[in-house]
Amino acid sequence: MALPQQHTISEDEAALYDRQIRLWGAEAQLRMRNASILIAGMRGLSNEVCKNIILAGVGSITILDHENITEQDFGSQFLIRGAALGTNRAAAAAEKARLLNPRVNVIVDQEDIVKKDDAFFQQFNIVCLVGCTIDQMIRVDDACRASEKRTGFYAANVYGFNGYIFCDLKDHHYRVERQEENAATVIIQKHHTYDSLSDVLLARFGFPTPRKLRRKVSPLLLAIQVLWQFQQQHGGRLPQSSSQEDLATMLQLRDTKLKDAQVDPAFVDDSLIQVLVSTGSAEIMPVCAVVGGYLAQDILKTLSAKDAPILNHYIYSGMEATGVVHHIKKE
Amino acid sequence: MERNSHLRTTIGEPLLNTVGASRVLMVGAGGIGCELLKNLVMSGFQDIVIIDLDTIDLSNLNRQFLFQKQHIKKSKAKIARESALEFNPNVRIEARHQNIKEEEFSVEWFKGFDLVMNALDNLDARRHVNKMCLAAKVPLIESGTAGYLGQVTVISGDLTECFDCLSKETPKTFPVCTIRSTPSTPIHCIVWAKSYLFGLLFGNAEDDDDEVMVKEDNADDETAKELETLKAESQALKTILAQAGQEGFTELVFNKVFGTDIERLRKMEDMWKTRAAPTPLNYNQIMDITGHLSQQLNVAPESTTLKDQRVWTLPETVTVFGDSLVRLTERLKELRESDPEASISFDKDDAETLDFVTATANLRAHVYGIEEKSRFDVKAMAGNIIPAIATTNAIVAGLMVMLAFKILNKRIADCKTTYLVYDSRGDRDQLLISEKLAKPNPRCYICRNAYIGLKIDTTTSTVQDFVDIMEDGGMTDVEIQENGRVIHDPDFDDNLGKTLAELQLTNGKFVDLVDVDDRKVIVYIIHRDSAALDGEKFILEGDVHKALVQQDKLRKTLEQLKAADAAEEALEAARKAASAPAHKHVEDSDIVMLEEEETRKRKRDGSLEILENGPLKKSSLTEPAHPSELGGGSQQPHAVSNDGVGDGTSAEQAVDVDEVVMVDGEEVDVVILE
Ligand SMILES: [Zn+2]
């Protein structure tokens, strides 16, 4: 993306961004300001992410969605207004998004993601897919990994009280500052390597005890992977809340998935699958706010090359009020 | 499929209806408040009152997304309401541009809500709302953020700890001699510039050394003498002020403050035996050099650094000193033409005052060989700025609504205190940590007390009437105080004949009562004209007798606790006595035990800290306390660093530490973590 690379923060920006520059520094702010981000799939969660990263002052954000606004979209997408019913989601959200921070270039793309070629994704610094199918996620992740621009890949979604973030930065270099006791600041350069989404899905755990397993992966993440599989086999649709048939399919998929992953089938309880089936299609504001807050924060962390981003899953459970990070590797 | 279909699927029809029928109060429409209001109007809430006395500032716009540039200087509550109604026009929002401490927001008013949510940024208002909610028996959701860190919790009567159950961090103070004679850190110089020099030059004559400097208790004769001398020096400076506006004024002030005063201090050899002596500065010497360097000074600073973030050179500092001194004295002169008592106070957003404090603090630092700071840093340290970002506020406000659902679903017991921790090094596996709600502290005066409302005509009822009412309820030899002021006790009955109104015991006042058996009750006065009391002389809201029974129980608990503490102390003493040098292994285990005790104590005492929307309390998971942005008085630097924060809960991860480590930009040896 041919953005003019600017090398300083203006005094106006310094005043506007004062409270955050005091947190992450002017260099991080500058990196964000020169960055381009794609958010594909406009949902409640995407609205949150857009709001947060636009406020932070990134260079440009492209919002991609080919669908039109339905009545129920108003329940979680606060960037759209009543009059926009029936119009394109991305276009409607962009109008309000621009007002959040006129310094950020908000670009609308109304094309279907399936029609976008790999080169499209490779022009961004960060690509973030919200609520997309697992097939799209894997394809776009692979495209980002092949990008010369080292495009970072995120995928996320919320299901009722629960939500996840997946992150693949391939090979990410960042710095960590540490205050020594003598008040000197030590800067440590680090890097993390990330597995691709398709590799992550092949992870084998080797039947450990539930206690050991729980430290590696949460039942919720495995249940969400089962949900992706269901969608894959059903033309992208989620299970219907009240469908016994869908629930039975989900339970079956759970059994095969856990067997393949070398995990005791009891690890992912029936009730958890049931909750995902009954609420999986719903996105509610507070859950979007929490997951969207972490997602935006992590995107900003990655852009600023300061501090460690999520490696490589973040799982939020609203019922338990926990947010855990799991590093899942192919192994 | 309509707007609420997602919500209905997730929380269910009955709870959705309860949420829709509830009335909630949101205190604060700032960083957390904007996010919270959006979440509430999008989550089925239909009846919301928001209150905030603040107006919108440019530096809010990076996170308070309901506000835009054209709203600067307008009421936060009102604009927040307007913006949120756009998300959902079907909600009733009442906006109050007022202080929550105003009298009209009485206990009765608080009783009109099903739930109160705090999105505040200062200790004082938090404590007030805490008390009002306890008295009104309304559950309260508390929240706080500072930088990446945050916290949410629930406060509810007997079920949980209240905001006052743990003691608060008091604002930091410094010994006066450190500030006036022997500074050793940048903050000492900044406090000197802001609280001493600035006040002396631009404040009122009566304003004494302010609250941040405390006189040492054990001041010996030497110290006393030194303090006398310092006082004389201050007087001498004030005489110079008379020459403001005349030729050479800047030089005069400069050479006095950074020259002669320092010369004198330097001669006190005893002071400099263990520390480096200060070096006086001379105005002309510096300015001479400036003349030679003027061309170099015009060269633009390196392009990646903001002017504000660069430490000024000495000549630059002197120039800023001169400019700001002249402008501030002129401003003061103008002000005093209309008001002889006028003064200028330091305000971090007032460029001239910040320039002056930055310049003088750095000149003093230069004199003492202390690190100089950029204007950007001085602003934070002198203005107690706490960094704040949208994402942390968004997460915290989301968690608050999740708690609201649980509370309205009558599941308070399922609520948890949740902390947002920050991971800089990638070695944490939990970013949100939840703990059970803490039980109330039995020693807490604020929540371990009965709150009883007394509806009474304060203009006709006397203190005697009040005493009678309480003694009829079962108290004996009652002692009455209001905000520390003694109204009545068995040895002081002068006020018995006075009306409550005469003694300012008016509507909304909290009155503390204690009887001969040390049983405490807090009565809040609800003024009602006699005609409105249905023929009664008074109406009690709450049962005094029941309250006294509870107080008896509490006293027993406290006695048991006291006994347990004494036993523990005795045990500790015995253990120490037993650890003779001969038993080395005992000694070792003793040390371990002591360390554990230390950790436990720290956790228990974890003082509350209040930040921008500051975390409520310091837990083992959050960083050391930061000062309040509005709390005033505190002088700590804001630095939020999260290294070393942790309790070792994380699993090992493949962390590659490679390449080089830089210390202040210099390359040094590679450091391997873990
Ligand atoms: Zn308490």
B97-137 confidence digits (pLDDT tens): 999 999 899 999 999 999 999 999 888 999 999 999 999 99
List all residues 6 or more positions away from A141 whose beta carbon is below 8 Å from its beta carbon.
A153, A155, A168, A196, A197, A198
Could you tell me the CATH number of the domain that includes residue B151? 3.40.50.720
List all residues 6 or more positions away from B201 whose beta carbon is below 8 Å from its beta carbon.
B237, B241, B253, B325, B328, B329
Binding site per annotation, positions of B:
28-33, 52, 60-63, 76, 121-126, 162, 165, 444, 447
Q: Based on the fold, state whether residues B339 and B400 are members of the same structural domain.
A: no
What's the angle, vertex CA B99, arms to CA B97 and CA B103, rounded to 5?
Answer: 120
Partner residue opposite A55 with nearest CB, options B63, B392, B429: B63
Predicted local distance difference test score (pLDDT) of residue A289 = 98
- Residues counted in chain B: 674
Among B residues 349-378, those touching chain A with beta carbons less than 8 Å apart: 376
Q: Which residues pair with A16 in a beta bridge?
A: none
Distances (CA, A) of B596 to B145, B182, B599, B601, B620: 29, 37, 5, 8, 13
> What is the B625 CA–ligand 1 centroid distance (Å)?
20
Predicted local distance difference test score (pLDDT) of residue B585 = 40
Tell whether B649 is within 8 A of chain A (Cβ). Answer: no
DSSP B277: P
CA distance B440 to A12: 48
More confident residue, A78 or B224: A78
Helix (H, G, I), strand (E, B) or coil at B262: helix
More confident residue, B294 or B60: B60
More confident residue, B348 or B287: B348
Q: Based on the fold, state whether residues B413 and B295 are members of the same structural domain.
A: no
Amino acid at B558: L
Predicted local distance difference test score (pLDDT) of residue B213 = 56
Q: Based on the fold, state whether residues B194 and B86 are members of the same structural domain.
A: no
The answer to whether position B671 is within a domain reads: no
Among B residues 652-671, those touching chain A with beta carbons less than 8 Å apart: 653-664, 671
Could you tell me the CATH number of the domain that includes residue B525? 3.10.290.20
- Are the beta carbons of A294 and B303 separated by less than 8 Å? no
Predicted local distance difference test score (pLDDT) of residue A241 = 87
CA distance A322 to A315: 8
Give mean pLDDT, residues B531-552.
91
Amino acid at A190: K
Helix (H, G, I), strand (E, B) or coil at B627: coil
Do the interacting molecules here have an ipTM over 0.85?
yes
Query: Which residue has tokens 């084998």?
Result: A204
Assess contact for B527 and B435: CB atoms under 8 A.
no
Helix (H, G, I), strand (E, B) or coil at A203: coil
Assess contact for A239 and A223: CB atoms under 8 A.
no
Pick the range with the lowest mean pLDDT from B130-139, B163-172, B229-238. B163-172
Among B residues 381-410, those touching chain A with beta carbons less than 8 Å apart: 385-392, 394-395, 397-402, 405
Contacts of B309 in chain A (CB under 8 A): 26
Instruction: Give me Rg for the CA atoms of chain B.
Output: 29
pLDDT digits (tens, 9 = 90+) for B172-201: 778 888 888 899 999 999 999 998 899 888
> What is the B141 CA–ligand 1 centroid distance (Å)?
15
- Give residue B588's Cα distance to chain centre: 40
Angle formed by the axes of helices B283-297 and B314-338, to 10°? 110
Give the range of the structural domain holding residue B319, as residue numbers without chain letter.
176-381
> What's the pTM value of the predicted model, to 2 decimals?
0.84
The answer to whether position B483 is within a domain reads: yes
Number of domains in chain B: 3
Q: Based on the fold, state whether residues B169 and B181 are members of the same structural domain.
A: no
Domain residue spans in chain A? 25-196+284-326, 206-279
Among B1, B5, B6, the residue to mutate for chain A (most A Cβ within 10 A): B6
What proportions of chain B, in percent to the nearest 5, are helix, strand and coil?
A: 45, 15, 40
Q: Based on the fold, state whether residues B127 and B250 are members of the same structural domain.
A: no
Predicted local distance difference test score (pLDDT) of residue B270 = 82
Token output for A13: 């920006």
Predicted local distance difference test score (pLDDT) of residue B427 = 82
Q: Based on the fold, state whether residues B153 and B263 are members of the same structural domain.
A: no
Token output for A17: 């961004």
> Chain-wide mean pLDDT for chain B?
81
* DSSP notation for B107-128: HHHHHT-SEEEE----HHHHHH
Long-range Cβ pairs for the range B349-353 (8 Å, 24+):
B349/B57, B349/B383, B352/B324, B352/B327, B352/B328, B353/B198, B353/B324, B353/B328
Instruction: From B436, B455, B471, give the residue that closes a domain.
Output: B436
**B219 pLDDT band (50/70/90 cuts)?**
low
Binding site per annotation, positions of B for Zn(2+):
162, 165, 444, 447
Could you tell me the CATH number of the domain that includes residue B368? 1.10.10.520
The answer to whether position B270 is within a domain reads: yes
Among B residues 242-281, those touching chain A with beta carbons less than 8 Å apart: none
**How many other CB atoms are found less than 10 A from the CB of residue A169?**
25
- Are the beta carbons of B389 and A23 separated by less than 8 Å? yes
Amino acid at A40: A
**B291 pLDDT band (50/70/90 cuts)?**
low
The answer to whether position B97 is within a domain reads: yes
Pick the range with the lowest mean pLDDT from B66-80, B201-215, B571-585. B201-215
Q: Based on the fold, state whether residues B232 and B146 are members of the same structural domain.
A: no
Is residue B146 pLDDT above 50, yes or no?
yes
Using CB atoms within 10 Å of the CB of residue A19, give its burial: 0 to 12 exposed, 13 to 18 middle, 19+ buried: buried
Predicted local distance difference test score (pLDDT) of residue B608 = 28
Q: Based on the fold, state whether residues B484 and B422 are members of the same structural domain.
A: no
State which fold the A25-196+284-326 domain adopts.
Answer: Rossmann fold (3.40.50)
DSSP B28: -
Instruction: From B576, B605, B634, give the residue that closes a domain.
Output: B605
Which residue from A214, A187, A174, A138 is spatially nearest to A300, judged by alpha carbons? Answer: A174
Nearest CA in chain A to B64: A55
Is residue B654 pLDDT above 80, yes or no?
no
Give mean pLDDT, residues B312-335.
92
Nearest CA in chain B to A241: B9
In chain B, the percentage of residues whose pLDDT exceeds 90 is 55
Give mean pLDDT, residues B486-498.
93
Contacts of B428 in chain A (CB under 8 A): 325
**Parts of chain A with a pLDDT under 50:** 1-4
Assess contact for B118 and B27: CB atoms under 8 A.
yes
The answer to whether position B116 is within a domain reads: yes
CA distance A106 to A89: 14
Q: Based on the fold, state whether residues B303 and B205 are members of the same structural domain.
A: yes
Is residue B238 pLDDT above 50, yes or no?
yes
Amino acid at B75: S
Amino acid at B387: P
